[in-house]
A = this chain, B = another copy of it.
C-alpha cells in the first residue's frame, strides 16, 4: 500500500489503484480464450479456479472467508458493534466470450474498497462483506440469478435439483462436484443484510458519450422476451405472382420495423430488438414458408412495459392478417422493472458529490443481481463507463482511471454506512 499520506479515501484508492489493476488482470486469466474473450460458466474448472484465487485475495486482505452452500463466496470484515451487514459484490460467472469487467469488476471493487477502508480507517463499527455471486448470466444453466435468489430465499430447491445444463448435469450435481452442499440451500439465506451495493460496468455508451465518471442506477429495466413464428406458404419465386403469396418473411420484416419504430417513438428508456430471425426454407428462389423471430423489449416503468407488450402483440396479429400468414406468439421471459432503494440512491449521490465525482442518474437496460437483492435488502447500483458501450464481448473495456472514481464512491458509501 502507498506510504504517501492520502487526504481522503478517493486519494487512497487512486494511490493504490495498482492493486485493482492486478486483481482485474489476475481474475481475467481464468477462462480467457486467446482473442475471443472469457468463458467462465458457473461450477466449471475455470470458475472454480477463479473462486480459489478470490479466496486467497480475501485472505490476504485480512478478511475471513467462506463459501455458502450454493457456491457464493463471502469475505467478511467484522464490525465492532454488529448490526445489519453492509454487503457489496457482483457475479463471478461470465457469458461465453465475455469481457474482463462484467461481474468481476463488481467483486474486485468491493474487495478493494473494504481492504482500502480497513487500511485507511481501521476496523468498522458495522460488518462489511464482499460477495462473489454465482450464475447471474445463465452461463451454464438456463437459469439466472441463482446465487442472489438463494441469498434472499427465493430460489426453490426444486430448481436446484432439476435445472440441467446442456449435458444433463443438474445444478445440484455440478455444485456438489465443486465441494458445495447445495442440498443445504436454506442455509444460504441471509436475514442480516442491511444494505447491498453493486458496482458494475454500464454495458452501454451513455456515460462514455457524456464523459461522466459514474452512473447512479435508479431502476433496472423490466423486459419481456417473445418468440414469434410466422407461417405462410413456400412458393416458387419466379412463378408465383406477388398477389398470390403468403410470404412469412415480409410479415416478419414488417413486425421488426414496426416494433423498432414503436420503441423509438416512446423514447428512452424504451428499447425493442429483433435480434434473431430464421427463415425456412431460406433459398434464394423460394418464397419463405416459415420465419421465427425473437423480440426483446424493455422499459423501466411497468405501465409502459405493459403498453409495449400489448402493442407489440397487436402489431404481430395485424401483420399476420394483412400478409395472410399465421402468427404464433410465445412469451419466454417476463421480468418486472426493479426500482432501486431511494435512501441508497441518495447515499451514493451524496458520496459522489462529496468526492467531486461527476455523475448522472440512470436506468439499467441490462439485468443485474441487484434487481433480486432489492426484493429483500435496500440496494442500489453504481455504474462505471464502458468504452464505446462494448459489452458481452472481448472488446469490453474500462480504463483504470475510469474505475477509480467508482471504487472511491463505493468505498465512501460503505464508510458512511459502516464507520
Residues of chain A touching chain B, judged by Cβ–Cβ distance below 8 Å, are 202-206, 209, 221, 223, 225, 234-244, 247, 249-250, 252-254, 256-257, 260, 263-264, 268-279, 282-288, 294, 296, 298, 364-367, 389, 391-393
3 tightest Cβ-Cβ pairs between the two chains A and B: A204-B239, A238-B365, A253-B253
- B260:A274 contact, CB within 8 angstroms: no
Contacts of A364 in B (CB 8 A): 238-239
4 new A-B contacts, CB < 8 A, other than A234-B393, A250-B256, are A225-B284, A236-B365, A239-B364, A239-B365
What's the least CB distance linking A364 to chain B, in Å?
Answer: 7
Contact assessment for B366 and A238 in the assembled complex, using a CB-CB cutoff below 8 Å: yes
* Nearest CB of B to A146, in Å: 19
Q: Can you name the residue of chain B whose Cβ is closest to the Cβ of A263?
A: B242
CA of A235 to CA of B285, assembled, Å: 32
Q: How far is the CA of A274 from the CA of B236 in the complex (A)?
A: 12
Which of B236, B242, B269, B284 is within 8 Å of A204, CB to CB?
B236
B254 touches A275 (CB 8 A): no
Q: Oligomeric state, in number of copies?
A: 2
Q: Closest Cβ of chain B: how far from A118's Cβ, in Å? A: 34
Set of chain B residues within 8 Å of A392, measured between Cβ atoms: 236, 286
Query: Is the Cβ of B239 less than 8 Å from the Cβ of A250?
Result: no
Contact check, B298 vs A238: say whether CB atoms are below 8 A apart: yes
Q: Which residues of B contact A286 (CB under 8 A)?
A: 273, 275, 392
* Chain B proximity of A270: nearest CB distance (Å): 7
Pick from B287, B294, B296, B393: contact of A273, CB below 8 A: B287
How near does chain B come to A145, taking the closest CB pair, in angstroms? 15
A252 to B286: give the CA distance in the assembly, Å: 18
| Contact status A273-B389, CB under 8 Å | no
Contact across chains for A257 and B257 when beta carbons are under 8 A apart? yes
Could you say which residues of chain B place their CB within 8 Å of the CB of A272? 242
CB distance from A272 to the nearest CB of B (A): 8
Let me know if B244 and A205 touch, CB within 8 A.
Answer: yes
Q: A286's closest neighbor in chain B, by CB?
A: B275
Asked whether A223 lies within 8 Å of B238 as measured between CB atoms, the reply is yes
Pick from A225, A273, A283, A367 the residue with the most CB of B within 10 Å.
A273
A284 proximity list for chain B (CB < 8 A): 225, 273, 275-276, 294, 296
Inter-chain contacts of A221 with B (CB < 8 A): 238
> Do A287 and B275 touch (CB < 8 A)?
yes
A203 to B298, CA, bound (A): 45
Chain B nearest CB, measured from A290 CB (Å): 12
A275 in contact with B283 given A238-B367, A240-B204, A263-B242 (CB within 8 Å): yes
- Chain B residues near A366: list those with CB within 8 A: 236, 238-239
Shortest CB-to-CB span from A204 to chain B, Å, is 3
Contact A242–B254 (Cβ < 8 Å): no
List of B residues within 8 angstroms of A391 by Cβ: 236, 239
CB of B287 within 8 A of CB of A240, answer no
A265 shortest CB reach to chain B, Å: 9
Q: What is the bound-complex CA distance between A367 and B239, given in angstroms?
A: 10
Residues of B within 8 A of A260 (CB): 242, 247, 250
* Cβ-defined partner of A256 (8 Å) among B241, B249, B282: B249
| Cβ–Cβ < 8 Å partners of A393 in chain B | 234
B contact residues around A239 at 8 Å (CB): 202-206, 364-366, 389, 391
Rounded to whole Å, the gap between the CB of A162 and the closest CB of chain B is: 23
- Give every chain B residue within 8 A of A243 (Cβ-Cβ): 264, 268
